[in-house]
Amino acid sequence: MATEEKLAKGAAFLIEETQAEKIFTPEDFTQEHQMIAETTRSFVEGEILPHSEQLEHQDWDLTVKLLHKAGELGLLAADIPEEYEGLGADKVTSALITEEITRGGSFALSHGAHVGIGTLPIVFFGNEDQKRRYLPKLASGEWIAAYALTEPGSGSDALGAKTTATLSADGKHYVLNGTKQYITNSGFANVFVVYAKIDGEKFSAFIVERDYSGVSTGPEEKKMGIKASSTRQLILEDVHVPVENLLGEPGRGHVIAFNILNIGRHKLAVGAVGAMKSALQVSVKYAKERKQFGTSISSFPLIQQKLADMNILTFVTESMAYRTTGDIDRQLEKLGKTSDGRQIAQAIEEYALECSVNKVFASEALDKVVDEGVQIHGGAGFIQDYPIERMYRDSRINRIFEGTNEVNRMIIPNTLLRKAMKGELALLQAATALQSELMGMMPISDEVSELGPIQHQLAMMKKIFLFVGGVSVQKYMQSLKDEQEILAWLADIVIEIYATESALLRTQKELDKGASAEQKVDMTTIFAQESFARVEQSARNILASMEEGDMLRTQLTLLRKLTRVQPVNTRDIKRRIAQRVIDAEKYLA
Amino acid sequence: MKILVLVKQTFDTEEKIRLQDGQVQEDGVRFVINPYDEYAIEEAIRIKEAGDAEVVVVSVGPSRSEEALRTALAMGADEAILADDSELFGDEYSAAKVLAAIARKDQYDLIIAGNQAVDDGSGQVAVRLAEELGIPHISTLTKLEVNGNEVIGHRDAEGDEEIVKATLPVLVTAQQGLNDPRYPSLIGIRKAGKKPLTHVTLADLGLTAEEIARKSEVVETFLPQPKTAGKILSGDLSQQVSELVTALHSVEKVIG
């Protein structure tokens, strides 16, 4: 390539305008991507769904057999480089596999824990010997992987782990002791990536094989949902792990842990897209079949409204998740094949904020979608014969694992402040520039072009963020980190901005291509309006929590300058969106 | 041995048919290989894997059909031909003429096709092709054996099984249950991108528009009437019978 393409900088979307052509969208899938998605879908329809009941009842032999089958097809190999018998595919490919697998229920957790958090630490941070020993077996599914970070006493506070590793007298082994909790795939995994502190201090990662003496698992946890996945404690009693199985550098396990979490968050969002599409599909089908008062309930506007909302949330999450996937791909491509773990970690870390944004938005969107799905099903939605009942239970964990949404909401503003302090993001400059701008007149919305009003809303949302963000920093300075409510409202604004912008740019990109995009325009219009209202509310919450009296009145006046937008006809637009979904009987972008 | 497999890309059978101005709407639709053609492709690949054969897949259809051919290549076919020149499109008669011209460009020992396409469901193209080429055909196979030059086909015959013998070259069509088609593996998909796929036009095939002009015409496309509620007759038996006869005469008009 003659000229190096400028890559999107993490979090820069808050202060910069992004060109539509620069983002990756689902409309950019190549034929190969589509074929891989199709194979995955056929696998789910042919091999997973027919066995749903058996898988839900925890027939681990079947789970392992199906993982092997997935391995034969190559569905475990996407992220593994070709030299270790993988496919070395891009992240869009593995995202698509994740999305499609999710449509087969919580078997996806077994798959995801294996290919994601189980395998990726070795892919990214393993040395040549470790990669050679483990990756081919993991690519084929001969061995199943798991990831053991959480402990009974340390969940969100991952670095508070109590598991210890002590170098043996002969220097050949680390002796591990401790208990890990809620370990997916623990019932049958052959290999675990385990975090422990060397000499009780240096947080480090180890590759631990199940067959090592002293490795055992606890009883199967009785979970609310995702029952087709195995969750147990991993118990380590004087486990002698060869020193060659230390993953990465001693004392740098946090680098591995945090970056694998970033990937995990991003993959969770992609998986949620698949789950939303399934929930929408069963719900729209049910709504068409179910007759009340002599007509299909899908003809009732209040049911249509739900279908429209579900379709919009799916569209927005999909737009965000694949935009981030594309950005991560480009970062990794730039590195080439010779990069080491640290470089890869940096490349992924660039989008740590986007990963958290995706995780929070997607898990909450999925919860809303399955909730409305149950509502559309009425009483039937409460009965286990209908898949929506399982989807509702399966959804709930997403707001908890891979970092709770509360932890992720704290990560978002903290990451921003760190980037601003390090000079990576000109956030403070932008906030200062806005202050003088606020004294003057605000530009009004471009009502002529189709997306003009939305572009205006997006621009105002970014200004609102800079305004209230700037005021909060001025007010609390260093102690802002203790103001969790303010930080969470700021995080919410950031999430809304990324969501609206991703939907808008995707729609813009289609229009620029000359494609007809009525559904996308309608969905983006509605989402932007609703998102804008939420942003305004968060901003008011922040201001009213910090100030009072004249000061508050002045700031609210400034805020009002940024919040003058024309409402749209939500009722008619949502009816249109829903009608298209009803006609197609599935998610329709 | 050289095997030619006829492939059509069709709507997924789960798709809803939407009409606008008498045209079937294709946006947002999931397309698949016609399920009967999948059996045909699988059978050809199994023959190849059991011995020595080259498998060429061919389709007459719009350029989106390339996806179906690539999928066949990913399953294990060696080469693909796509007749996506719109001048080649017509009805079953036209398709058979076009396929015959393609088949004549090479020496195929065996031609395998689906018994029918799930969209139009005419079941005519393959057997017309056999006629065009002057070779025998065995249709709706549930089992196929190829021993040297001899072909034995087991076919569904209204609940019975008929066993038919023929000599190569021959054309056969696949019935549901012939085999269990494989999923294209990710490695297969990778390789498929590098396998040859040739596009052919009217001129390439040395055909003229008149030669392949359609013999039939679509007059109207419409969706089936929605099912209405049935009627339960009441009263004693003779009353019910007479009411039924009246209804068949005057309401349903099935008896003249």
**Please, what are the domains in chain A?**
26-144 (1.10.540.10), 146-250 (2.40.110.10), 253-406 (1.20.140.10), 425-584 (1.20.140.10)
**pLDDT reading at A342 higher than 80:** no
Q: From first to last of its 256 residues, what are the pLDDT tens digits of chain B?
A: 999 999 999 999 888 888 888 889 888 788 999 999 999 999 999 999 998 899 999 999 999 999 999 999 999 999 999 999 999 999 999 999 999 999 999 999 999 999 999 998 999 999 999 999 999 999 999 999 999 999 999 998 888 899 999 999 999 999 998 999 999 999 999 999 999 999 999 999 999 999 999 999 999 999 888 888 888 888 899 999 999 998 888 887 787 6
| Active-site residue, A402 included | yes
Q: Which residues of B fall within a CB distance of 8 Å from A89? A: 186
- For A551-583, write each residue's pLDDT tens digit: 999 999 999 999 988 899 999 999 999 999 999
Taking the Cβ of residue B190 and every Cβ of chain A, the question of whether any pair is shorter than 8 Å is answered with yes
The shortest C-alpha distance from B167 to chain A (Å) reads 36
Q: Read off the pLDDT of each residue in A235-263 and give the average, rounded to a whole number.
A: 95
Residue type, B245: V
User: What tokens appear for A208 in the block?
Assistant: 């631990």
Query: Whose CA is closest to B102, among B23, B212, B4?
Result: B4
Q: Please enumerate in sequence order all residues whose Cβ is within 8 A of that of A522, keeping only pairs 6 or more positions apart, or say none.
A: A573, A576, A577
Give this complex's ipTM. Answer: 0.82
For residues A1 and B41, the model is more confident at: B41
CA–CA separation, B199 and B58 (whole Å): 10
**pLDDT reading at A3 higher than 60:** no
Q: Please enumerate in sequence order all residues whose Cβ is within 8 A of that of B234, keeping only pairs 6 or more positions apart, or say none.
A: B240
How many CB atoms within 10 Å of residue B58?
25
Q: Which residues of B fall within a CB distance of 8 Å from A46? A: 183
Query: Whose CA is closest to B137, among B118, B155, B159, B157?
Result: B155
Alpha-carbon dihedral sign for residues A228, A231, A232, A238: positive
Q: Read off the pLDDT of each residue in A42-60 and give the average, rounded to a whole number.
A: 95
CB atoms B185 and A72 under 8 Å? yes
How many CB atoms within 10 Å of residue B5?
27
How many CB atoms within 10 Å of residue B189?
28
The shortest C-alpha distance from A38 to chain B (Å) reads 9
Q: Read off the pLDDT of each residue in A502-530 and give the average, rounded to a whole number.
A: 96
- For A108-165, write each residue's pLDDT tens digit: 999 999 999 999 999 999 999 999 999 999 999 999 999 999 999 998 888 899 999 9
Interface test with B, best of A30, A43, A49, A73 (most B CBs within 10 A): A73
**pLDDT reading at A174 higher than 60:** yes
**pLDDT reading at A229 higher than 80:** yes
Strand partners, B54: B2
Q: A543-574 burial string, b = 16+ CB within 10 Å, else e?
A: beebbeeeeeeebeebbebbbebeeeeeeebb
Q: Which residues of B fall within a CB distance of 8 Å from A585? A: 16
> Which one of A318, A354, A402, A536 is the catalytic residue?
A402
Nearest residue of chain B to residue A97 (CA atoms)? B186
CA–CA separation, A492 and A480 (whole Å): 16
The shortest C-alpha distance from B192 to chain A (Å) reads 9
Taking the Cβ of residue B185 and every Cβ of chain A, the question of whether any pair is shorter than 8 Å is answered with yes
Strand partners, B40: none
Nearest residue of chain A to residue B191 (CA atoms)? A32
Q: Residue B234 — φ and ψ, nearest 5°?
A: -125, 180
Question: Which residues of chain B form CATH 3.40.50.620?
Answer: 2-199
DSSP calls for A252-294: -HHHHHHHHHHHHHHHHHHHHHHHHHHHHHHHHHHHHH-EETT
Cβ pairs bridging A and B (under 8 Å): 51
Residue B25: predicted pLDDT: 87
**Nearest Cβ partner of A31 from B28, B70, B186?**
B70
Can you name the CATH fold of B2-199? Rossmann fold (3.40.50)
User: What tokens appear for B145 in the block?
Assistant: 């054996």
User: What tokens appear for A193 in the block?
Assistant: 């990536």
% residues pLDDT > 90 (chain A)? 88
- For A435-491, write each residue's pLDDT tens digit: 888 887 777 776 778 899 999 999 999 999 999 999 999 999 989 999 999 999 999
CA A555 → CA A23, A547, A560, distances in Å? 35, 9, 9
